[in-house]
Structure 1
Amino acid sequence: MPEIAVAVIVTPGFSPFHLSIPSIIFGHERYAAGRFSLRLCAEVAGQIASDSGFSVHTEYGLEALADADMIIVPYWPDPDQLPSQLMQDALRRAHQRGAMVVGLCLGTYVLAYSGLLDGHKAATHWEYEADFCHRFPTVQLDTYALYVEDGGLVTSAGTAAALDCCLHLVRRYYGSQVANGIARSMVIPPYREGGQAQFIERPIPVTSRDSHINALLDYLRRNLQQAHTIDSLAEHVCMSRRTFTRHFLRATGMSVNDWLNSERLQFSQRLLESTGHSIEIIAGMAGFNSAVTYRQQFKKQFQVSPQDWRRTFQGREHSIDG
């Protein structure tokens, strides 16, 4: 696969943290060499001041978006601020020709102002849910998700969720082993289940039951091949069915079945990439009751068959250490 050309838009008053996430994942030689090429660009190329007293030099203007495979808006200073018509037009043209357009945190507002998200699902920081929904009623905001991909548009929740989103993009192009290797090197989780619901301020106090759910998630990951029911899991953590489902949703942002299905599919991706097991064996190891069901769920989630995923990612150079 040729290198993926990534253009990151730097805006005046940018947040260094937000800018650093795509810069290190798609620009650091150890992670990006042979996979991604990074350009920092701005409406007017040159020195762009951050909100923290220093600046970065951008060599490119928005003309760099014309041939980029992926365009990232990592930050936006103010939801009330409309992006310029020049930027909106450049993003729309890029998306129309097939480029992936990404908005991290409040960068989602830029995509929405440009009309790209009309009729699509999206994510942004949970604190801006009411404001975003009021401004953009045609966008389907998912307040649980850490990131959302829909129709060549990728958006993420606030701040550190940008890491999850960028790792998802690495996984999308180069498979889970590459993404996991980068995450391991950066000492961060390769894949965080659930969503930002666990970070939303609520009047309900945190109780010891949350630790029970966390222990249960570890148990489930070690036993994905087994059949699990809501009743058996509720009994496992000594809760009623109703209490268990409520606590599980609050802790993960997902239903039990959705969480299990997602974990099983992620596990199966690793098996497809790293083993020669048949699809039938992988389906059983991941906990699906039949290979037919597994193929259907995999295709629904990733838009390709397990066999196509294996052909794409197995046999590539996966290590970031060598």
Structure 2
Amino acid sequence: MVHHVVVLALDGVKPFDLGIPSQVLGQAFGASGHALYRVSTCSIGGRPVVTNQDFSISVEQDESALAGADTVVVATQDHRRGVPDRGDLPDRLAAALRSVPSTARVVSLCTSAFVLGAAGMLDGQRATTHWQMCDELARRFPRVTVDQNVLFVDNGRILTAAGAAAGLDLFLHLVRRDHGVAVANATARRCVVAPWREGGQAQFIERPLPASGDSSTSSTREWAEERLSQPLALVDLAAHAHMSVRTFTRRFRSEVGLSPHEWLLQRRLDHARYLLESTELSINEVSSKAGFTDPVLLRKHLRNAVGLTPGAYRRTYSAVGREAGASGRV
């Protein structure tokens, strides 16, 4: 069945962000070429929405559309118009959010995390927003664990994205989560964007430049990705970068937003998922080629990441990946 996504546009919406869901999800197709998602837009009262640019947008549906959504997206608003505190939402907007089915995913883009926070939907959860607003989000909503380093946070039902292009990353992640790596990669190619953007917001936060020397760990990351099947210790990565372990760890986290261990685990899991989808290698062989010393470790980390064992993941996604590849669709 086609997954129905409803985007809620509020006054002050940023047109670029408003268009991201339909731009990405509209390029996701199944093995037979059918659309996997249907995206529609609504506003409170179905009235025109004032953007943060010099034009307004006409919207044909009102907030009642949210009740029939599989995924609800609250698009970004310009924070210069103000962001809400807890309980500080217009009555009609608060009621609209309460109408969202408990089975539906809810996605915030950038500053719309404040809308979800004000509605109490982020309580007890990890979340993110644009790095410039993370401290304010944490101050207003102390029950929320705010992470300024990541491009997006997936809590299962509730997902939050950082600013602007991070929405592209989040929606490609949803395609990957729903339909597997092959479909997500093909979607990314149609959108002419990278299927997976390395690193988090940490790489965009304004910091003083180092006084001298090459501080980048990018060449070491490339080196490691070519050797995922091999055991790679932190000391090996630091040695390749010609840095002390302490300096390498600090610079790596500053550039990528993850520790070297977290990043390496993420890359190993991505490679394992690709192999499960695109090859008939045994689970033991996949585990070895992805750098897991024991298939039990692959099982543990894959279950933690996507909620599936390697066998279940292959049964769910491998046929989709092979058929998409055989059809030559890009």
| CA distance 1:85–1:46, change in 2 (3 Å) | closer
Please say if residues 29 and 35 of structure 2, whose CA atoms lie closer than 8 Å, have aligned partners that are also in contact.
no
Please say if residues 76 and 110 of structure 1, whose CA atoms lie closer than 8 Å, have aligned partners that are also in contact.
no
Pairwise CA RMSD? 2.0
Matched, 1:53 2:49: no
Please name the residue that 1:255 is paired with: 259
Please name the residue that 1:21 is paired with: 20
Could you tell which deviates more after superposition, 225-234 or 116-125? 225-234
Q: Distance in 2 between matches of 1:33 and 1:47?
A: 31
Q: What TM-score, normalized by structure 2, do the two folds share?
A: 0.91
**Letter in structure 2 aligned against 1:40:** T
| Residue number among 272, 279, 284 corresponding to 2:276 in the alignment | 272
Task: Give the 3-state SS of the residue equivalent to 1:116 in structure 2.
Answer: coil
Q: Distance in 2 between matches of 1:240 and 1:298?
A: 31
Kindly state the Cα deviation for residue 138 of structure 1 after the two structures are TM-superposed: 0.3
Q: Distance in 1 between matches of 2:234 and 2:302?
A: 23
Kindly state the Cα deviation for residue 86 of structure 1 after the two structures are TM-superposed: 2.3
Matched, 1:233 2:237: yes
Please say if residues 120 and 151 of structure 1, whose CA atoms lie closer than 8 Å, have aligned partners that are also in contact.
no
**Letter in structure 1 aligned against 2:307:** Q
Please say if residues 22 and 74 of structure 1, whose CA atoms lie closer than 8 Å, have aligned partners that are also in contact.
no
Task: Give the 3-state SS of the residue equivalent to 1:41 in structure 2.
Answer: strand
Q: Distance in 2 between matches of 1:129 and 1:155?
A: 12
Gaps of 5+ in 1: none
Q: Distance in 2 between matches of 1:210 and 1:182?
A: 34
Matches within 5 A, 1:1-322: 2-27=1-26, 33-78=34-79, 79-81=82-84, 82-95=88-101, 97-205=102-210, 208-211=213-216, 213-316=217-320, 317-318=323-324, 321=329
Could you tell which deviates more after superposition, 115-124 or 176-185? 176-185
Number of residue equivalences = 319
Identity within the alignment, %? 37
Kindly state the Cα deviation for residue 149 of structure 1 after the two structures are TM-superposed: 1.0
| CA distance 1:28–1:189, change in 2 (3 Å) | closer
Please say if residues 92 and 116 of structure 1, whose CA atoms lie closer than 8 Å, have aligned partners that are also in contact.
no
Please say if residues 19 and 74 of structure 1, whose CA atoms lie closer than 8 Å, have aligned partners that are also in contact.
yes
1:49-89 superposed Cα distances (whole Å, 9 cap, x missing partner): 32222333212111101110000012123343444222223
1:180-230 superposed Cα distances (whole Å, 9 cap, x missing partner): 11212222211123210111111343855333x111111111111011111
**Letter in structure 2 aligned against 1:190:** P
Q: Distance in 1 between matches of 2:279 and 2:205?
A: 39
Please say if residues 4 and 36 of structure 1, whose CA atoms lie closer than 8 Å, have aligned partners that are also in contact.
yes
| CA distance 1:290–1:165, change in 2 (3 Å) | same
| CA distance 1:272–1:30, change in 2 (3 Å) | closer
Please say if residues 22 and 39 of structure 2, whose CA atoms lie closer than 8 Å, have aligned partners that are also in contact.
yes
Kindly state the Cα deviation for residue 296 of structure 1 after the two structures are TM-superposed: 0.9
Q: Distance in 2 between matches of 1:71 and 1:197?
A: 27
